[in-house]
Amino acid sequence: NAGVTQTPKFQVLKTGQSMTLQCAQDMNHNSMYWYRQDPGMGLRLIYYSASEGTTDKGEVPNGYNVSRLNKREFSLRLESAAPSQTSVYFCASSGKNYGYTFGSGTRLTVV
Amino acid sequence: AQSVSQHNHHVILSEAASLELGCNYSYGGTVNLFWYVQYPGQHLQLLLKYFSGDPLVKGIKGFEAEFIKSKFSFNLRKPSVQWSDTAEYFCAVTAGNQGGKLIFGQGTELSVKP
């Protein structure tokens, strides 16, 4: 089925560990996004990529890095995880007419 | 910077009651407006969107929203809610000069009592 695929779905990290969240879309969308969702705060944009080869900071980029590997894939890396990064992470992509598609999310716990 | 504000954090209604969820945004230029729903344990689903034209937009599951440019508002309405509407609702905006970034409000949790 066409859409946005995120891996893993769940992850527990210890403080200081690193990990990469993977995201891939098969809709030929130019733009891709990473959000985090926290109770009472909605979804906040971490990083986005308007097109292959470009990335830009969103509202809450500190502690994260991203890579737009190709048009399909956009990964999010936590170099040194902190408890404040415990959250649900959503990847999204958009094409013409701002048709956004969201992945099913990654629930990350940092202990 | 562009922002979105949802007035109600948690709304509790009985079945068949009418619903209106408030959403205001801060941006003076052209905007595209969205309402998303997130059912428990699931990802976001699009309810409706407004780009231009008729300011009264109809979406899925009987929801509608009205864009009032002078009030910078895009409130979500449903005449008669059902227990299955229990979910979290998010208003979101993209602005013309923001490169397509979707900025979300804080969300409103709706609980519908059977």
Which tens digits make up the pLDDT trace of B24-53?
999 878 889 999 999 988 889 999 999 889
CB contact under 8 A, A43 and B104: yes
Distance of CA A79 to CAs A110, B11, B40, Å? Answer: 13, 39, 30
Residue A48 reports pLDDT greater than 90: yes
Q: What 3-state DSSP class applies to B60?
A: helix
Q: What is the pLDDT of residue A40?
A: 86
Q: What is the pLDDT of residue B43?
A: 85
Is B7 part of the contact surface with chain A (CB cutoff 8 Å)? no
Q: What is the pLDDT of residue A6?
A: 96
Chain A residues closer than 8 Å to B107 by CB: 40-42
Q: What is the pLDDT along chain B (114 residues), one digit of tens a residue?
A: 778 999 899 999 999 999 999 999 998 788 899 999 999 888 899 999 998 899 999 999 999 999 999 999 999 999 999 999 999 999 999 876 556 788 999 999 999 998
CB contact under 8 A, B49 and A45: no
Mean pLDDT, rounded, for A50-73: 94
Task: Let me know: does A98 contact B92? Beta carbons within 8 Å.
Answer: no
Over pLDDT 90: what percentage of chain A? Answer: 85
